[in-house]
Amino acid sequence: MEVLETRAALRSWRAKVHGAVGFVPTMGALHEGHLSLVRQSLADNPWTIVSIFVNPRQFGPNEDYHRYPRTLETDLRLLRNLGVSAVFVPSEEEMYSLEDEVYITLTRLSRLWCGGYRLGHFDGVVLVLTKLFHLTAPTRAYFGEKDFQQLRIVEKMVEELFFPIEVVRVPTVREPDGLAMSSRNTYLSPRGRAQAVALYKTLQYIQTLVPTCPLAQDLLAEGRAYLSENYPEIKLEYLAIVDEYSLQPIEHLRQSLKLRALIAAYVEGVRLIDNIPLVVPDESS
Ligand code: AMP
Protein backbone atom coordinates (compact mmCIF):
# COMPACT_ATOMS: atom_id res chain seq x y z
CA MET A 1 0.00 0.00 0.00
CA GLU A 2 1.45 3.35 -1.01
CA VAL A 3 1.03 6.25 1.38
CA LEU A 4 0.92 9.45 -0.69
CA GLU A 5 1.35 12.80 1.04
CA THR A 6 1.55 15.23 -1.85
CA ARG A 7 -0.49 16.08 -4.95
CA ALA A 8 2.57 15.28 -7.06
CA ALA A 9 2.91 11.80 -5.52
CA LEU A 10 -0.81 11.17 -6.07
CA ARG A 11 -0.67 12.30 -9.69
CA SER A 12 2.31 10.06 -10.44
CA TRP A 13 0.58 7.06 -8.74
CA ARG A 14 -2.53 7.78 -10.81
CA ALA A 15 -0.55 8.00 -14.05
CA LYS A 16 0.86 4.53 -13.63
CA VAL A 17 -2.33 2.60 -12.75
CA HIS A 18 -4.56 1.31 -15.53
CA GLY A 19 -8.07 -0.06 -15.21
CA ALA A 20 -10.90 0.96 -12.91
CA VAL A 21 -9.99 3.01 -9.83
CA GLY A 22 -12.33 3.12 -6.83
CA PHE A 23 -12.04 6.12 -4.50
CA VAL A 24 -13.21 6.34 -0.88
CA PRO A 25 -12.88 9.85 0.61
CA THR A 26 -12.84 9.94 4.43
CA MET A 27 -11.81 12.08 7.37
CA GLY A 28 -10.17 9.09 9.07
CA ALA A 29 -10.89 7.63 12.55
CA LEU A 30 -12.05 4.70 10.50
CA HIS A 31 -14.79 2.34 11.68
CA GLU A 32 -16.79 -0.47 10.08
CA GLY A 33 -18.95 2.06 8.19
CA HIS A 34 -15.90 3.40 6.34
CA LEU A 35 -14.54 -0.11 5.87
CA SER A 36 -17.75 -1.27 4.17
CA LEU A 37 -17.19 1.45 1.54
CA VAL A 38 -13.61 0.24 1.12
CA ARG A 39 -14.68 -3.40 0.81
CA GLN A 40 -17.24 -2.47 -1.84
CA SER A 41 -14.59 -0.58 -3.80
CA LEU A 42 -12.15 -3.50 -3.52
CA ALA A 43 -14.83 -5.83 -4.88
CA ASP A 44 -15.68 -3.51 -7.80
CA ASN A 45 -12.26 -2.25 -8.92
CA PRO A 46 -8.71 -3.56 -9.43
CA TRP A 47 -7.40 -0.40 -7.70
CA THR A 48 -8.72 1.30 -4.58
CA ILE A 49 -7.49 4.59 -3.17
CA VAL A 50 -8.68 6.03 0.15
CA SER A 51 -8.13 9.63 1.22
CA ILE A 52 -7.82 10.66 4.87
CA PHE A 53 -8.15 14.40 5.32
CA VAL A 54 -9.93 16.28 8.08
CA ASN A 55 -11.16 19.06 5.84
CA PRO A 56 -11.07 22.38 7.74
CA ARG A 57 -13.38 24.06 5.22
CA GLN A 58 -16.35 21.92 6.13
CA PHE A 59 -16.26 22.82 9.83
CA GLY A 60 -17.87 25.96 11.21
CA PRO A 61 -15.91 28.21 13.62
CA ASN A 62 -17.61 26.70 16.68
CA GLU A 63 -17.49 23.11 15.50
CA ASP A 64 -15.17 20.23 16.41
CA TYR A 65 -12.37 20.58 13.82
CA HIS A 66 -9.60 20.67 16.44
CA ARG A 67 -10.93 17.83 18.58
CA TYR A 68 -12.02 15.63 15.65
CA PRO A 69 -10.46 12.15 16.31
CA ARG A 70 -7.21 11.51 14.42
CA THR A 71 -6.00 7.90 14.45
CA LEU A 72 -3.73 7.74 11.41
CA GLU A 73 -1.55 4.78 12.40
CA THR A 74 -4.54 2.55 13.16
CA ASP A 75 -6.32 3.73 9.99
CA LEU A 76 -3.32 2.86 7.82
CA ARG A 77 -3.02 -0.58 9.44
CA LEU A 78 -6.72 -1.33 8.79
CA LEU A 79 -6.47 -0.22 5.16
CA ARG A 80 -3.25 -2.15 4.57
CA ASN A 81 -4.87 -5.31 5.97
CA LEU A 82 -7.85 -4.93 3.64
CA GLY A 83 -5.57 -4.72 0.59
CA VAL A 84 -6.05 -1.05 -0.38
CA SER A 85 -3.70 0.08 -3.18
CA ALA A 86 -2.96 3.62 -2.00
CA VAL A 87 -3.88 6.16 0.68
CA PHE A 88 -3.76 9.92 0.15
CA VAL A 89 -2.98 11.80 3.39
CA PRO A 90 -2.37 15.42 2.40
CA SER A 91 -1.51 18.27 4.76
CA GLU A 92 -3.79 21.31 4.86
CA GLU A 93 -1.21 23.29 2.82
CA GLU A 94 -1.28 20.63 0.13
CA MET A 95 -5.04 21.15 -0.37
CA TYR A 96 -5.50 24.89 0.25
CA SER A 97 -3.65 28.16 0.05
CA LEU A 98 -4.43 31.45 1.75
CA GLU A 99 -5.05 33.04 -1.66
CA ASP A 100 -7.81 30.53 -2.59
CA GLU A 101 -10.98 32.14 -3.91
CA VAL A 102 -13.10 29.39 -5.45
CA TYR A 103 -16.20 27.97 -3.81
CA ILE A 104 -18.93 25.95 -5.49
CA THR A 105 -22.42 26.27 -4.06
CA LEU A 106 -25.52 24.21 -4.72
CA THR A 107 -28.40 26.62 -4.59
CA ARG A 108 -31.03 24.26 -3.22
CA LEU A 109 -29.68 20.96 -1.88
CA SER A 110 -26.90 22.59 0.18
CA ARG A 111 -29.25 24.93 2.01
CA LEU A 112 -31.71 22.40 3.38
CA TRP A 113 -31.53 20.42 6.66
CA CYS A 114 -27.91 20.12 7.85
CA GLY A 115 -26.97 22.94 5.48
CA GLY A 116 -29.40 25.28 7.25
CA TYR A 117 -27.74 24.63 10.62
CA ARG A 118 -24.10 24.15 9.53
CA LEU A 119 -23.69 27.21 7.32
CA GLY A 120 -21.09 26.69 4.59
CA HIS A 121 -20.60 23.04 5.54
CA PHE A 122 -21.59 21.58 2.19
CA ASP A 123 -19.66 24.24 0.27
CA GLY A 124 -16.57 22.95 2.06
CA VAL A 125 -17.48 19.35 1.23
CA VAL A 126 -18.06 20.14 -2.45
CA LEU A 127 -14.81 22.11 -2.66
CA VAL A 128 -12.64 19.37 -1.19
CA LEU A 129 -14.33 16.66 -3.26
CA THR A 130 -13.87 18.65 -6.47
CA LYS A 131 -10.16 18.88 -5.73
CA LEU A 132 -9.92 15.21 -4.72
CA PHE A 133 -11.89 14.04 -7.76
CA HIS A 134 -9.56 15.96 -10.09
CA LEU A 135 -6.46 14.54 -8.43
CA THR A 136 -7.59 10.92 -8.15
CA ALA A 137 -9.64 10.78 -11.39
CA PRO A 138 -11.54 7.73 -10.12
CA THR A 139 -13.85 5.48 -12.12
CA ARG A 140 -16.13 5.10 -9.10
CA ALA A 141 -16.45 6.99 -5.82
CA TYR A 142 -18.07 5.49 -2.72
CA PHE A 143 -20.33 7.35 -0.30
CA GLY A 144 -22.35 6.19 2.70
CA GLU A 145 -26.13 6.59 2.94
CA LYS A 146 -25.45 7.55 6.57
CA ASP A 147 -24.80 11.09 5.28
CA PHE A 148 -27.74 11.07 2.91
CA GLN A 149 -27.84 14.79 2.13
CA GLN A 150 -24.11 14.74 1.40
CA LEU A 151 -24.65 11.76 -0.90
CA ARG A 152 -27.37 13.57 -2.88
CA ILE A 153 -25.17 16.68 -3.12
CA VAL A 154 -22.26 14.61 -4.44
CA GLU A 155 -24.53 12.93 -7.00
CA LYS A 156 -25.76 16.33 -8.15
CA MET A 157 -22.29 17.93 -8.37
CA VAL A 158 -20.94 14.95 -10.33
CA GLU A 159 -23.88 15.22 -12.72
CA GLU A 160 -23.76 18.99 -13.22
CA LEU A 161 -19.98 19.39 -13.33
CA PHE A 162 -19.65 16.46 -15.78
CA PHE A 163 -17.29 14.39 -13.65
CA PRO A 164 -16.93 11.03 -15.45
CA ILE A 165 -17.39 9.24 -12.13
CA GLU A 166 -19.97 6.69 -11.00
CA VAL A 167 -21.16 7.53 -7.48
CA VAL A 168 -21.83 4.31 -5.57
CA ARG A 169 -24.21 4.38 -2.58
CA VAL A 170 -23.33 2.15 0.36
CA PRO A 171 -25.95 1.35 3.05
CA THR A 172 -25.50 2.60 6.62
CA VAL A 173 -23.56 0.29 8.92
CA ARG A 174 -24.98 0.20 12.46
CA GLU A 175 -23.93 -0.94 15.91
CA PRO A 176 -25.82 -4.01 17.23
CA ASP A 177 -28.38 -1.75 18.98
CA GLY A 178 -29.03 0.21 15.77
CA LEU A 179 -26.90 3.33 16.35
CA ALA A 180 -25.36 4.43 13.04
CA MET A 181 -21.58 4.15 13.25
CA SER A 182 -19.85 7.54 13.31
CA SER A 183 -16.43 8.84 14.26
CA ARG A 184 -18.25 11.30 16.55
CA ASN A 185 -19.75 8.47 18.65
CA THR A 186 -16.36 8.32 20.39
CA TYR A 187 -17.13 11.69 22.06
CA LEU A 188 -20.01 10.11 24.03
CA SER A 189 -19.86 8.87 27.64
CA PRO A 190 -21.23 5.33 28.20
CA ARG A 191 -24.51 6.94 29.28
CA GLY A 192 -24.66 9.16 26.19
CA ARG A 193 -23.73 6.22 24.02
CA ALA A 194 -26.70 4.28 25.42
CA GLN A 195 -29.02 7.21 24.69
CA ALA A 196 -27.71 7.85 21.19
CA VAL A 197 -29.76 4.99 19.80
CA ALA A 198 -32.72 7.37 20.22
CA LEU A 199 -32.18 8.75 16.72
CA TYR A 200 -32.62 5.37 15.05
CA LYS A 201 -35.43 4.36 17.43
CA THR A 202 -37.36 7.53 16.51
CA LEU A 203 -36.96 6.85 12.80
CA GLN A 204 -38.07 3.24 13.30
CA TYR A 205 -41.04 4.39 15.36
CA ILE A 206 -42.15 6.65 12.52
CA GLN A 207 -41.83 3.74 10.10
CA THR A 208 -44.16 1.60 12.27
CA LEU A 209 -46.87 4.30 12.07
CA VAL A 210 -46.67 4.78 8.29
CA PRO A 211 -49.32 2.14 7.40
CA THR A 212 -51.94 3.92 9.52
CA CYS A 213 -50.91 7.54 9.08
CA PRO A 214 -50.46 9.03 5.61
CA LEU A 215 -49.81 12.64 6.68
CA ALA A 216 -46.19 13.63 7.23
CA GLN A 217 -47.00 16.32 9.79
CA ASP A 218 -48.83 13.79 12.00
CA LEU A 219 -45.99 11.29 11.75
CA LEU A 220 -43.45 13.96 12.63
CA ALA A 221 -45.50 15.10 15.64
CA GLU A 222 -45.67 11.47 16.84
CA GLY A 223 -41.93 11.08 16.29
CA ARG A 224 -41.11 14.23 18.25
CA ALA A 225 -43.40 13.12 21.11
CA TYR A 226 -41.75 9.66 21.17
CA LEU A 227 -38.31 11.23 21.39
CA SER A 228 -39.11 13.72 24.12
CA GLU A 229 -41.00 11.14 26.23
CA ASN A 230 -38.41 8.39 25.98
CA TYR A 231 -35.20 10.41 25.67
CA PRO A 232 -35.85 13.76 27.37
CA GLU A 233 -32.16 14.71 27.50
CA ILE A 234 -31.74 14.63 23.74
CA LYS A 235 -32.06 17.93 21.92
CA LEU A 236 -33.71 17.54 18.55
CA GLU A 237 -32.41 19.74 15.73
CA TYR A 238 -34.66 18.52 12.93
CA LEU A 239 -36.87 15.59 12.03
CA ALA A 240 -38.17 15.47 8.46
CA ILE A 241 -39.82 13.29 5.85
CA VAL A 242 -38.49 14.15 2.41
CA ASP A 243 -38.49 13.13 -1.20
CA GLU A 244 -35.29 11.12 -1.72
CA TYR A 245 -34.31 12.98 -4.87
CA SER A 246 -35.00 16.64 -4.08
CA LEU A 247 -34.82 16.34 -0.26
CA GLN A 248 -37.87 18.62 -0.15
CA PRO A 249 -40.38 17.88 2.63
CA ILE A 250 -43.47 16.02 1.51
CA GLU A 251 -46.98 16.27 2.95
CA HIS A 252 -48.76 13.07 1.91
CA LEU A 253 -47.00 9.71 1.94
CA ARG A 254 -47.62 7.72 -1.22
CA GLN A 255 -46.23 4.42 -2.34
CA SER A 256 -45.20 5.95 -5.66
CA LEU A 257 -42.76 8.31 -3.89
CA LYS A 258 -39.26 7.38 -2.73
CA LEU A 259 -39.04 8.76 0.77
CA ARG A 260 -36.47 9.21 3.52
CA ALA A 261 -36.92 10.13 7.14
CA LEU A 262 -34.04 12.33 8.36
CA ILE A 263 -33.01 13.27 11.89
CA ALA A 264 -30.32 15.41 13.53
CA ALA A 265 -30.03 15.71 17.31
CA TYR A 266 -27.59 16.56 20.07
CA VAL A 267 -26.62 13.91 22.61
CA GLU A 268 -24.43 15.32 25.42
CA GLY A 269 -23.74 18.27 23.11
CA VAL A 270 -22.54 15.96 20.31
CA ARG A 271 -24.37 16.46 17.04
CA LEU A 272 -25.47 13.16 15.47
CA ILE A 273 -27.44 12.45 12.29
CA ASP A 274 -29.26 9.45 10.88
CA ASN A 275 -31.82 8.54 8.21
CA ILE A 276 -33.80 5.58 6.89
CA PRO A 277 -35.75 4.90 3.70
CA LEU A 278 -39.48 5.04 4.55
CA VAL A 279 -41.48 2.19 3.10
CA VAL A 280 -45.12 2.97 2.30
CA PRO A 281 -47.25 -0.17 2.01
CA ASP A 282 -49.16 -0.90 -1.17
CA GLU A 283 -52.51 0.97 -0.88
CA SER A 284 -54.37 -1.78 -2.72
CA SER A 285 -53.28 -4.63 -0.43
P1 AMP B 1 -16.41 10.76 7.10
O2 AMP B 1 -15.06 10.19 7.47
O3 AMP B 1 -17.32 10.96 8.26
O4 AMP B 1 -16.28 11.96 6.20
O5 AMP B 1 -17.12 9.64 6.22
C6 AMP B 1 -16.52 9.16 5.05
C7 AMP B 1 -17.51 8.31 4.30
O8 AMP B 1 -17.93 7.21 5.11
C9 AMP B 1 -18.79 9.08 3.90
O10 AMP B 1 -19.18 8.69 2.59
C11 AMP B 1 -19.78 8.60 4.94
O12 AMP B 1 -21.13 8.66 4.51
C13 AMP B 1 -19.35 7.16 5.13
N14 AMP B 1 -19.82 6.63 6.40
C15 AMP B 1 -19.63 7.17 7.63
N16 AMP B 1 -20.28 6.44 8.57
C17 AMP B 1 -20.91 5.43 7.91
C18 AMP B 1 -21.75 4.34 8.30
N19 AMP B 1 -22.08 4.16 9.58
N20 AMP B 1 -22.21 3.51 7.34
C21 AMP B 1 -21.89 3.71 6.04
N22 AMP B 1 -21.10 4.71 5.60
C23 AMP B 1 -20.62 5.56 6.52
| pLDDT per position as a tens digit, 233-263 | 999 999 999 999 999 999 999 999 999 999 9
Q: In what order do the strands lie in the sheet with 259-267?
A: 235-243, 259-267, 270-278
Best mutation site among 26, 140, 149 for ligand 1, i.e. most ligand atoms within 8 A of its Cβ? 26
Intrachain domains 2-170 and 183-275 with the same fold: no
Give the whole-number percent of the chain exceeding pLDDT 90.
Answer: 98
- Structure confidence by residue, pLDDT tens digits, 132-148: 999 999 999 999 999 99
Which atom of ligand 1 is found nearest the CA of 181?
Answer: 19
- Structure confidence by residue, pLDDT tens digits, 181-200: 999 999 999 999 999 999 99
- Structure confidence by residue, pLDDT tens digits, 143-171: 999 999 999 999 999 999 999 999 999 99
Which residue ranges make up each domain of the chain?
Answer: 2-170, 183-275
Which atom of ligand 1 is found nearest the CA of 172?
Answer: 20
* Residue 285 predicted with pLDDT over 60: no
Verify whether ligand 1 is closer than 6 Å to residue 27 (CB atom): yes
Verify whether ligand 1 is closer than 6 Å to residue 48 (CB atom): no
Q: How far is the CA of 257 from the centre of ligand 1 (A)?
A: 26
* Residue 211 predicted with pLDDT over 90: yes
Q: Which entry of 18, 31, 34, 121 is annotated as an active-site residue?
A: 34
CB-count burial class (<10 Å; 0-12, 13-18, 19+) for 16? exposed
Q: How far is the CA of 33 from the centre of ligand 1 (A)?
A: 6
- Structure confidence by residue, pLDDT tens digits, 31-56: 999 999 999 999 999 999 999 999 99
* Strand 2-4 with 235-243, pairing: unpaired
pTM: 0.98
Which atom of ligand 1 is found nearest the CA of 27?
Answer: 2
13 falls in which pLDDT band (50, 70, 90)? very high
* Residue 283 predicted with pLDDT over 80: no
34 assigned to active site: yes
The mean pLDDT value of the chain amounts to 97
Verify whether ligand 1 is closer than 6 Å to residue 185 (CB atom): no
282 falls in which pLDDT band (50, 70, 90)? confident
Q: How far is the CA of 106 from the centre of ligand 1 (A)?
A: 21
Given a contact cutoff of 8 angstroms between Cβ atoms, the answer to whether 40 and 168 are in contact is yes
Q: Which amino acid is at 208?
A: T
User: Which CATH superfamily does the domain covering 2-170 fall into?
Assistant: HUPs (3.40.50.620)
Alpha-carbon distances of 258 from 157, 224, 249, rounded to whole Å = 21, 22, 12
- Structure confidence by residue, pLDDT tens digits, 54-89: 999 999 999 999 999 999 999 999 999 999 999 999
Verify whether ligand 1 is closer than 6 Å to residue 121 (CB atom): no
SS3 17: coil
Give domain 183-275's CATH number out of 3.30.1300.10, 3.40.50.300, 3.30.420.40, 3.30.70.20.
3.30.1300.10
Start-to-end C-alpha separation, the chain: 53
Which atom of ligand 1 is found nearest the CA of 25?
Answer: 6
Best mutation site among 31, 32, 36, 37 for ligand 1, i.e. most ligand atoms within 8 A of its Cβ? 37
Looking at the DSSP assignment, which residues form a beta bridge with residue 109? none
Kindly report the protein residue whose alpha carbon is nearest to atom 11 of ligand 1: 144
- Structure confidence by residue, pLDDT tens digits, 74-131: 999 999 999 999 999 999 999 999 999 999 999 999 999 999 999 999 999 999 999 9
Per-residue pLDDT, 284: 52
